[in-house]
Amino acid sequence: MFKHLLVPLDGSGLAESALPAAAYMARKLGASVTLIHVVEKDAPKEIHKDRHLTNAEEANAYLQKIAGLAFSPETPVEWHVHVEEVKDVARSIVLHTQELGQDLVVMCTHGRGGVRDWFMGSIAQQVIALGKTPVLLIPPRDIGQAVFSCRQALVALDGVPDHEQGLRVAAGLAPACGITLHLLMVIPTLSTLKAEKAATGRMLPGAMMAMLDLAEQGGKDYLVQHMENLQSGGIVTSAEVARGDAVSAIVATAQRIQADLIVLGTHGKTGMDAFWSESVTPKLSGRSQVPLLLVPVREK
């Protein structure tokens, strides 16, 4: 499981919202942590009236202080400042995951609306698009309220075996962190079909409804098989098939079961003929107040 965490920080309180999750994961998994700051070329001194580190000396002192405050003495913590100024901070962080050998990036989704969309697209989405490093996204919290624990995880699945990387990661985390898993598969309704399938549904509603009903039964059988396999390994697991819009169903289910974490596989890009290409990941990031563990889907 994860043994080396990378936590990008820019000096803001929002970015620090990721620290409790990083500390929790490091403690539970016995992992080491690297804090990183990339000096941005022509960086503003503030971002939305919040602090922003602008030089290497200040950043080094800040990361050293955070290392002592946010983590227990038992957790190995290092810090790294990329002193060469860069314009593309996101790409630099991606390259550092390869250079420093991290297997999980923990970061906060900055702000709301457009700012969150920008951060998701520029940072986490690029990391996912490389197809190598999972990303734990933490919704922003007010300073002093950024707490993290993980007892219940919602694992979203689409029924495609090649897209089950998220399930495998969740199964690995469960025994180490004492997590209960809830598997969810979402089957559309006629009104929530996308693209060409929606057109087919309008022309042939009876046939499409029958296909969706068959997909629901197939989804139940699929989830039962996974649930039984996980339970045989001692992991407490439940499962359900929901009908409707994928994002809405995931958000509603996470709220209902009081999930501490949502785990899903993602391609990290759009335009692909797969479940998560329907902009599920960025939309979910914008709507969910539950942390997201995004696991890159590696095509075989």
For residue 145, being part of any structural domain is answered with: no
Read off the pTM: 0.88
Q: Rounded distance, CA 228 to CA 108, Å?
A: 34
For residue 147, being part of any structural domain is answered with: no
The per-residue pLDDT for range 194-206, each reduced to its tens digit, is 777 777 777 888 8
Q: What percent of the chain has pLDDT over 70?
A: 81
The per-residue pLDDT for range 34-57, each reduced to its tens digit, is 999 888 777 666 665 666 777 888
Q: Rounded distance, CA 263 to CA 279, Å?
A: 16
For residue 146, being part of any structural domain is answered with: no
pLDDT (mean) for 129-155:
80
Strand partners, 77: 33
CATH number of the domain at 171, please. 3.40.50.12370
Lowest mean pLDDT of 62-66, 81-85, 89-93, 157-161, name the range: 89-93
CATH number of the domain at 80, please. 3.40.50.620
Enclosing domain of residue 284: 152-296
Lowest mean pLDDT of 127-136, 165-174, 180-189, 254-263, name the range: 127-136
Q: What is the chain's mean pLDDT, rounded? A: 83
The domain tally of the chain equals 2
Lowest mean pLDDT of 96-100, 115-119, 188-192, name the range: 115-119
- Of the residues 110, 138, 166, the one at which a domain ends: 138
Could you tell me if 125 and 161 lie in one domain? no
Task: Give the pair of three-digit tokens for residue 145.
Answer: 């309220």
Could you tell me if 190 and 246 lie in one domain? yes
Could you tell me if 183 and 281 lie in one domain? yes
The per-residue pLDDT for range 99-139, each reduced to its tens digit, is 878 899 998 876 444 444 444 445 666 666 665 789 999 88
Task: Give the pair of three-digit tokens for residue 45.
Answer: 């001194």
Could you tell me if 229 and 195 lie in one domain? yes
For residue 104, being part of any structural domain is answered with: yes
Backbone angles phi, psi at 263, to 5 degrees: -115, 130
For residue 173, being part of any structural domain is answered with: yes
For residue 144, being part of any structural domain is answered with: no
Task: Give the pair of three-digit tokens for residue 254.
Answer: 């996470």
Lowest mean pLDDT of 93-97, 107-111, 284-288, name the range: 107-111
Could you tell me if 18 and 114 lie in one domain? yes
Taking Cα atoms as reference points, which of 11, 92, 83 lies closest to residue 44?
A: 11
At 26 the pLDDT is 96
For residue 285, being part of any structural domain is answered with: yes
